[in-house]
Structure 1
Amino acid sequence: MCWFSIAKYLMWAFNFVLWLGGLAVLGIGIYLVAGDGSQYVQLGDINFYAASGSIFIIAGCSAFILGFIGCKGAKNESTGMLGLYFICLLVLLILQAGLGIWALCNFDSVNDAVTSGIEEQALDETATSFINMEQTMQCCGKSKGCQDWVDAEQDKPYGCECDSGQGNCVKISSLSCSSSFDLETDEYKFIYNDTCTEAMTELVNDNMKLIAGIGLGIGLFEIFGMIVACCMYQAIKEHKGYA
């Protein structure tokens, strides 16, 4: 009887944490899909990055449903619901492992994919998506900085302007490209020095490391949940056997 009560409390506690974890994973998924800079990942054609965010959203929503199934199974002492709960956790674990392997296989190609995608963008004063990306991600040009705007035969490095004091904000006069621009105002006195290829690659790499770390943590947590479900399953069988 004591073992049965402990197993039930463990099941409830685990599923409460599962609900909280699901909320956190859902939030991370939304951030990856809609957070600052994420809308520009499409310029780098990083398909697996966008897929990761969508899968995190699905996993977060699934956690709420699984938490309900687990608690309901423990409350009703239903071995059938606990069996379904175990199978769902196992399927999620396999899917996450597959995503992790897929992301790992694509990790080394991030820089190439970003470079290829960004180099395809046309640079002129009407390139609003690229200019907005420069301001959001605090970068300038494609892979050669302000020189890319010179190569595009533009009279200004559109979108590269910044305020003095920011980390990678430098005087345009200190850069070799400055003599090629028609700078009649102080608007472009300071511009971002980092290239957008560098900024985008750093964003994706940092978030992929976040995804990998959280995925590993969730995987270990799900394994623990499967163990708890097995213990609860066995405890119900023993409890009913002695009833």
Structure 2
Amino acid sequence: MDSEGGCYNCMKYLLFVFNLLFWLSGAALLGVGIWVIVAQQSFITLVGDNPLFITGAYILIGVGAFVFFVGFLGCCGAIKESKCMLILFFILLLLIFAAEIVAAVLAFMFRAKTEQVLSDMMNKTLQEDYKGPKAQDPTSAAWNYVQIIFGCCGTTGYKDWLTSDWVQNQGQGTRMDFPSSCCTRDKLSLDNLPKNQTACYANPDDPMFMNSGGCFEKMKSEFQQKILIIAIVGIAIAAVMILGMVFSICMVRNMEENTRM
């Protein structure tokens, strides 16, 4: 009997610790989202008045609030040994787990379509929204940054720039066929000048002075290299959630047996 009581108490406090961590993660997401919304005026100067940015902040608040509530519910249910709270906690955790599975399946099923949408979006911003190598708007700054960091040029290659609004609207005397951020650099830093900008523009097919390859494939390759880490983290989170569900249902069953006795 003492052994059973010890196991029960161990399970109770493990469930409490699990939910405390879950609650803290929700609080962190909630805090970041609220901070972004409150301080959005200062962010506009950095990233621009982008609706996706603000929408992302509200999504953070929503997800954080939900996780915060679920974690709090689990903590209270474990400490107070509330059957009702633990059952509700189990149901909510099961819904989150199911949503993660559905999201993973949909991401796999629509992977090709998603890649095409992302490629089209990149090409659209390149063609219509880019303002120049020294422009400070979010789109131009992002393109310059990505091309330098990933050592790439354009969505599929430097020829993408030839039909862009930025190139077409330049004066004949100052025409540049692609941004200087396409040129190779000694170090991957926005502060560094190109190795040889003259040679870069004179022979854009020379990989010594020109970033070869499009940015979409370079970014896709970088993501694929990290996909194993992402998968491991996802599996670890799923395993922790399964443990949380197992602990909660075991506590409920134990309480029911004690009530019958």
Is TM (by shorter chain) over 0.5? yes
Match of 2:187 in 1: 166
Residues 69-84 of structure 1 aligned to structure 2 (within 5 Å): 69-84=73-88
Higher share in helix = 2
Q: Is the 8 A contact 2:15 2:247 kept in 1?
A: yes
Residues 23-42 of structure 1 aligned to structure 2 (within 5 Å): none
- Given the superposition, is the C-alpha separation of residues 125 and 55 from structure 1 closer, same or farther in structure 2, using an over 3 Å criterion? closer
Distance 1:100 1:150 in 2: 38
Shift of 1:12: 1.3
Match of 2:235 in 1: 216
Shift of 1:62: 2.6
Distance 2:180 2:67 in 1: 42
- Given the superposition, is the C-alpha separation of residues 114 and 174 from structure 1 closer, same or farther in structure 2, using an over 3 Å criterion? farther
Q: Residue 217 of structure 1 aligns to which amino acid in structure 2?
A: A
Distance 1:106 1:208 in 2: 16
Match of 1:122 among 122, 127, 130: 127
Q: Residue 226 of structure 1 aligns to which amino acid in structure 2?
A: M
Match of 1:141 in 2: 154
- Given the superposition, is the C-alpha separation of residues 123 and 11 from structure 1 closer, same or farther in structure 2, using an over 3 Å criterion? closer
Match of 1:113 in 2: 117
Q: Residue 78 of structure 2 aligns to which amino acid in structure 1?
A: A
Shift of 1:221: 1.3
Write out per-residue CA displacement over residues 43-72 of structure 1, whole angstroms, 9 at most, x where no aligned residue: xxxx9xxx9998776544433211211121
Match of 1:178 in 2: 202
Identity %: 26
Is 1:131–2:140 an aligned residue pair?
yes
Unmatched 5+ residue regions in structure 1? 31-38, 181-189
With structure 2 as the length reference, what TM-score do the two structures score?
0.63
Unmatched 5+ residue regions in structure 2? 35-46
Match of 1:103 among 98, 104, 107: 107
Q: Bigger shift: 232-241 or 64-73? A: 232-241
Shift of 1:98: 0.8
RMSD of the alignment, in Å? 4.2
Write out per-residue CA displacement over residues 144-199 of structure 1, whole angstroms, 9 at most, x where no aligned residue: 22x33345455223352678322597644555x5369xxxxxxxxx6654533234
Matched residue of 1:233: which SS? helix
Q: Is the 8 A contact 2:155 2:215 kept in 1?
A: yes
Match of 2:217 in 1: 198
The count of residues paired between Structure 1 and Structure 2 equals: 216
